[in-house]
Amino acid sequence: MTVEFADSKRFTKVYFDGEPVQELHRRLFRLHFRILSRAKSKEELLKALRQIEIKVSRGLVYKWLAERGYLKAELKTKLKRYKLSEEAIEEVIKECQKLGYLDDEREGKLFIRGQMRKGYGPQMIAYKLTQKAPELKEMAESAMTEEEQQEAIKKWIGKKLRGDDLSDLKVKQRLYRFLKSKGFDDEPIRRHLFLD
């Protein structure tokens, strides 16, 4: 009954009596291999692995959350890259939510505000937010009010006109394509370009 390790580039495979148990990230678990090698049974090894995985996951999540806010889905994706178990990931994320370190609604609102500051329209904001966290689809759909959209379109038109005549059809078409690429709705764009 022995614990063996087989190294690859970034990961180390853990074996118990020749049977593969799990892959571990070498850099994250390098201080814990000695503890794992002392396991006398498979149950003892799995218990030690679970405790160490939670400890490592918690350290990573706290470090990342100290740098900036994350959505739950983003953290899960980042942790899965290190081949951590689903149970350890879920436990650490629940712990962070309970402590108030992780709040999808707050981060979603901050993301929307940041994208609005960059000049994106509601369609682009909704697309980007649902790419990050599909469960925030409802929040993404009501991302921008009609007035905010009108104001942003006015700013972009003023910035992109570059002294061109707005009555020229080619200029209007260029602006229309640009504003659509920024994610604005058809009706407000047409109202500004073709009805004024």
Q: Write the pLDDT tens digit of every residue in 110-160.
A: 999 999 999 999 999 999 998 988 888 788 777 788 888 999 999 999 898
Q: Radius of gyration over alpha carbons of the chain, in Å?
A: 25
Predicted local distance difference test score (pLDDT) of residue 39: 85
100-103: long-range contacts, CB 8 A cutoff, minimum separation 24? 101/62, 101/65, 102/65, 102/70, 102/72, 102/75
pLDDT of residue 114: 93
Residue 129 tokens read as 């937010």
Please say if the pLDDT value at position 44 is more than 60: yes
Whole-angstrom distance, CA of residue 182 vs CA of residue 57: 37
Q: Are 111 and 120 in contact (CB under 8 A)?
A: no
Mean local confidence (pLDDT), 45-71: 94
Q: What are phi and psi of 84, to 5 degrees?
A: -85, 150
Predicted local distance difference test score (pLDDT) of residue 94: 96
Closest CA relative to residue 75, chosen from 55, 63, 61, 95: 61
pLDDT of residue 196 exceeding 70, the answer is: no
Tokens of 64: 């990342």
Buried b / exposed e along 138-156 (16+ C-beta atoms within 10 A): ebbeebbeeeebeebbeeb
Q: Indicate if the pLDDT at residue 1 is higher than 70.
A: no
- Residue 18's pLDDT band, with cuts at 50, 70 and 90, is confident
